[in-house]
Structure 1
Amino acid sequence: MNALKEHISFQASALSLRERRNTILASNIANASTPGYKARDVDFEREMSRQVGESPVFKTNARHMDSLAGTGGDALQYREPLNPSLDGNTVEMSVEQMEFSENTLRYMTTLTFLNRRISGLMSAIRGD
C-alpha cells in the first residue's frame, strides 16, 4: 500500500497546494474593495519543496541561514503591490486574475497527471 501512496503522493500534494492557493487568490479577488485588505499568496515552489522535504536553496556553509527562515508556519506571504491604493488595499485585480487563471490551469494539469498515474496503476492491476 505504501508503494501506491508513494507513486501518487507528489501529484496529490501538488493538487492540494494548488487548491489552497486558489482559495487564497479567490479571497484576494473577493476583498478587492475592502479598505486596508492585504493581498496574500503562497510561494508554490517553496511550499512544495518544504512538503517534499527538499530545500529549494542549498546551503554551502554551515553558518548560512535556512531558506525558509521567517516565513512562518503556513508560509503565507503578503503580495507587494505595484500600484498601492490610497485606502491601504494591496489587491490589484489584473495581477490576482492572472495568478488565479495560471494557478487554475496548473491545477487542471496536475489533476490530469494524477488521473494518468491512477489509470496506469489500474491498468497494471488489471494486467492490461
Structure 2
Amino acid sequence: MTGKLDDYLRFHETSLSLRAQRQQLLASNIANADTPNFKARDIDFSNAMQNAMSGSAQVSATLVKTADSHLSGDAAVGAGSAQTLYRTVQQASIDGNSVDMDVERNQFADNAIRYEAGLTMISAQIKNMLAAIQGG
C-alpha cells in the first residue's frame, strides 16, 4: 500500500526537491553578484526531472580518503541532486563575474512560483486521497 502511495506522489516529491535545489543555486548567484570571478550556476530543470523520473539520476559517488581520520564518503546521490551547469554569459563584466541580476531575479521568482504551484498540486492530491478514504 505504501509503495503505491509513494509512486502516486513521487513526481511531485521529485519536482519539489529539484525546485528547492535550484532555488538554493539561484540564491547563491544573487548573494555572489559582487564577488569577483564568480560564475552564475543553474540546473536544466526539465533534463534533471527526466533523469530523476527515469531512475538514471541514481549515481554512486565515492570520495577518496587521504588520511585515516577522514570519514568515508560513500553515498548514493538520488533524485534530489541535479547536474550543476554554468549560466551563459549575457554581458561580460570587468571583474569576471557572470551574474546578471535581472536574469537571476526573474529566474528566482519564476522558480518560487513553480515551487508554490507544486505544493498546491500535492496538497490537492492528498485532499483527494483523504476524500476517497473518508467516502466524501
Shorter-chain TM-score bucket reads 0.7 to 0.9
Aligned-pair CA distance for 1:74: 4.0
> 2:77 — aligned with what?
none
Q: TM-score, normalised by structure 2?
A: 0.78
Query: Quick one: which amino acid aligns to residue 93 of structure 2?
Result: S
What's the RMSD between the two structures over aligned residues?
Answer: 1.5
Amino acid paired to 2:122: L
- Flag the structure with more relative contact order, 1 or 2, with Cα contacts below 8 A and sequence separation at least 6: 1
Query: Aligned letter for 2:28?
Result: S
Query: How many percent of aligned residue pairs carry the same amino acid?
Result: 41
- What TM-score, normalized to structure 1? 0.83
Q: How many residues align?
A: 111
Does 1:88 pair with 2:96? yes
Q: Which runs of 5+ in 2 are unaligned?
A: 57-80
Partner of residue 62, structure 2: none
Q: Specify the code of the residue in structure 2 equivalent to 1:39.
A: A
* C-alpha displacement of 1:107: 0.5
2:85 alignment partner in structure 1: 77
Query: Equivalences for 1:6-17 in 2 at 5 Å?
Result: 6-17=7-18
- Mapped partners of 2:12, 2:31: distance in 1: 28
Q: Deviations over 1:4-63 (max 9, x none)?
A: 1111110111011101100100000000000000000000000000000189xxxxxxxx
* Partner Cα distance (2:10, 2:22) in 1: 18
Gaps of 5+ in 1: 56-72
Aligned: 1:53 with 2:61: no
